[in-house]
Amino acid sequence: MSFNPTFNARGAFAIFKNELMRMFRTAFGSIASPVITTSLYLVVFGAAIGSRMELPGDVSYGSFIVPGLLMLTLLSESTSNASFGIYMPKFTGAIYELLSAPVGVAETLIGFVGAAAVKSMILAAIIMGTAALIIDYEVVHPFLAFGYILLVSATFSLLGFIIGLWADGFEKLQVVPLLILMPLTFLGGTFYSIEMLPEPWRSVTLVNPVVYLVNGLRWTFLGQSDFPIWVSFGATLLFLLVCVAIIGWIFKTGWRLRE
């Protein structure tokens, strides 16, 4: 039986498949919840409040907030799915199998982070479909939008994986998504253009990294945003590399993994 010790492809696929199956066991809750939430946002903000909002350019408010809402879901779902995926084996003790198997950092990341990112991509497609039923919008750069959604899903799944390794209780799993990511996303231009903010809040907002993520995705949808697209792509890619480096260090040192 052939076994390639350089890269255990079957091992990576087994983890990937196992994680996807685990996520789909709770498919109704994990898909219905973001779909309902997004629909409510679109109805309340897009239809009710949006008509009174004045945006720069001739963009409708409904199509303006779709990328923001998409980013809101991508960040929270990618982070929570990946963190839960690696935390649960730690919690139940099943992590022994991962540690004793011939899988390294590459196989583990492809398995856990890949599955979380794929689930986020599926959710993104469902949300875009749901949004299309409620409002009219178009995606100006569909391939770039796909690439950017993939990049953001992978990056925040990596962040979630780190949180899952770091957490030593369910409370810590929730700290970053609820107390850091959620506020940053709401304050990151999800529902408004930062052009609409008065000084000094406009300058303060620039230190919020989510602003660049939302604007990056908004550019792929609308063809215009508050910042050049390369700034958003570059910042996200840099964050992805930082996450990979941190995970590499965790596996090398065994921090929170091996005794």
Partner 1 sequence: MTDTILDIRGLEKTYKGGVKALDGVDLTIKRGEIFALLGPNGAGKTTLIGSVCGMVRPTGGRIEVFGKDLAKHWKQVRRDIGLVPQELSFDMFDKVIRQVRFSRGMFGCEPDDARIEEVLRSLSLWDKRDAQIRALSGGMKRRVMIAKALAHDPQLLFLDEPTAGVDVELRRDMWRQIDALREKGTTIILTTHYIEEAEEMADRVGVISKGRILLVDEKDAIMAKLGRTEAHFTFDAPLPAIPASLGEYPLHLEQGGTCLVYRGGDGTGKGKREVAEIAQVMAREGIVFTGMETRESTLEDIFVDLLHEPEVTA
Interface with partner 1 (CB under 8 A): 1, 3-5, 8, 10-11, 13-15, 17-18, 21-22, 25, 88-89, 92-104, 254, 258-259
Measured from the CB of residue 153, what is the shortest distance to partner 1 in angstroms? 23
Residues 6+ apart with CB under 8 A from 200: none
Measured from the CB of residue 247, what is the shortest distance to partner 1 in angstroms? 17
CB 251, CB 107: distance < 8 Å: no
Q: Tell me the C-alpha distance between 91 and 170, whole Å.
A: 9
- Give whichever of 21 and 140 is closer to partner 1, judged by the CB atom: 21
- Give whichever of 100 and 133 is closer to partner 1, judged by the CB atom: 100
- Give whichever of 18 and 208 is closer to partner 1, judged by the CB atom: 18
Measured from the CB of residue 204, what is the shortest distance to partner 1 in angstroms? 42
CB 217, CB 71: distance < 8 Å: yes
Q: Which two tokens stand for residue 135?
A: 């409002």
- Give whichever of 90 and 141 is closer to partner 1, judged by the CB atom: 90
Q: Tell me the C-alpha distance between 199 and 210, whole Å.
A: 19
Q: Which two tokens stand for residue 87?
A: 């935390």
Q: Tell me the C-alpha distance between 144 and 221, whole Å.
A: 9
Measured from the CB of residue 80, what is the shortest distance to partner 1 in angstroms? 18
Q: How far is CA 209 from the centre of its chain?
A: 13
Q: Tell me the C-alpha distance between 186 and 159, whole Å.
A: 19
Measured from the CB of residue 15, what is the shortest distance to partner 1 in angstroms? 6
Measured from the CB of residue 248, what is the shortest distance to partner 1 in angstroms? 16
Amino acid at 83: S
- Give whichever of 97 and 168 is closer to partner 1, judged by the CB atom: 97
Residue with tokens 């929570």: 80
Q: Which two tokens stand for residue 24?
A: 């789909």
- Give whichever of 31 and 74 is closer to partner 1, judged by the CB atom: 31
Amino acid at 74: L
Q: Tell me the C-alpha distance between 259 and 253, whole Å.
A: 10
Q: Tell me the C-alpha distance between 154 and 151, whole Å.
A: 5
Measured from the CB of residue 166, what is the shortest distance to partner 1 in angstroms? 17
Q: Tell me the C-alpha distance between 9 and 7, whole Å.
A: 6
- Give whichever of 10 and 172 is closer to partner 1, judged by the CB atom: 10
